[in-house]
Chain A
Amino acid sequence: MTNAIEVRAVEKKFGNVHIIRDLNLTIGQGERHAIIGPNGAGKSTTFNLISGHITPTSGEIDLNGQRISGLRPFEINRRGLSRSFQVTNVFAKMTVWENIRCAVLWATGHRYAFWKNVDSLPEVRQRTAEILEDIHLTHRRDVPAGLLTYAEQRELEIGITIAGGASVIMLDEPTAGMSNTETDRAVALIRRLTEGRTLVIVEHDMSVVFGLADRISVLVYGNIIASGTPEEIRGNPKVKEAYLGEEDH
């Protein structure tokens, strides 16, 4: 079985600055994989490279055995990879319902159709209603997304990410800025919604990471210094030194 994501010898330079050097990462099908590392280690850049937000200077990235490095973000999305953003990135003036519906439209095959009434597409309506139910925002469906509370916007962000039915879901710090109760709620939500899919997550909250992940990769200065099960990572002296030892994390 091919791996969900395979990153081989990827390098990213901005001018003369190496942000990522020789990045190698393998994520198996159905795995819940967390990427951790200190601030500025290149976690978000890694996300941006895989999702096509930025293109690698060199190296290769495969999604389910297909080459995706060099493709544009929407081409990668259509091949079954969907990501969320660290800073909430929704359609602020559109309602919650419309936000989710937009994320459903491509996957249900309606593409750029200008000859269909969007309100009378039963499968779109049903799927949108299901996703809203899943993210507990049904009661807020007619509210413009920009007026939601922060935690609700984060949930909507996850909803938009999973709505297209991608096989690989990448979440960039989904619980950042949340209270403990909100975090617990969000973790339960993520666990339930990514059932049967591959999950890649960047997270600072170690209780979330160790509670959710099957495997963990540790990124330091654009390099994966260790990759393994939560137990292996906990016991790894290099990781302790580079990352877990720092009190502020």
Chain B
Amino acid sequence: MGLISFLKSKFHKKDNQTEKYNQGLEKSRKNFSNKLQNLTMKYKSVNQEYFEELEEILIESDVGVNLALQIIEDVLEESKKEKISDPQRINEILVDKMFVGYASKGDIQNELTFLEGTPTVLLVVGVNGVGKTTTIAKLASRYKKQGKKTLLVAADTFRAGATEQLTVWAERLGVDIITGPSEADPASVAYDGVRKARLENYDFVIVDTAGRLQTKANLMAELSKIKRVIGKEIEEAPQETFLIIDATTGQNGVMQAKAFAEVTNLTGVVITKMDGTSKGGIILAIRDELGVPVRFIGLGEKLDDLEEFDLDKYLYGLCVGE
């Protein structure tokens, strides 16, 4: 059974979550799968042109030119070996390649793990305007619902209004927050927060940081200082560091991931704004280059519009459609 039929059967009975996931991904799915299907109809049997158009579809999804070329090459090779020329089956091989390519790059575990007796510290990093603060609110809401005593730490002391933004969320969510004066050293705010969490037995601490472009050496150094300071207060912390990436990001997303991985111990990526028209192909590119998994995806502006990343569903949404 090909992967597509497997996925189809798996999601035949649509649970609620899949439904929401699909709604959010609707745009991406329509774009990608419509194009793929149009392509299938245009060609009775595949030729050079078919593969070129396939390449175009992948590149237009922000998968990246190198990865796209590689995937196409793999598909081409296999189709030659197996003597397959039916477009439908070629597409199945394509999805197969993407699936295996992602899955073989490392672990797939989305949910955070919590330890007895010591707070789990999550450091949230990313470039400007990707939705760090909103994602933090969504994550806080998610784990508060699971009964975790949660503390927010407003270590973005730079951007005008950032602390206020997080404070508004803390009030709405009914979780505690640590803030510092504007322009304060973010590392000291982070330290205060983590210290409070340790002394007052919080389960979960989320440290918000200012958006920074990965090319700013001094700001990246500041980030590594924040990380160090947190580690001084709680050994092993931050246990998790999430890089937040906007789904509309192009190949610069890979550069972002590389640069942030140099100064922090990246344990996951959260893709935000996946409810737009972009295809989030950067998910595959980042995994391919760095092996860092996508843990969650943001599908809207409401607090519960955050879903665990599910490779099956993602590829299903992207390639199969309905």
Q: Do A and B come from one complex?
A: no
Q: B-side interface residues toward A, CB under 8 Å? A: none
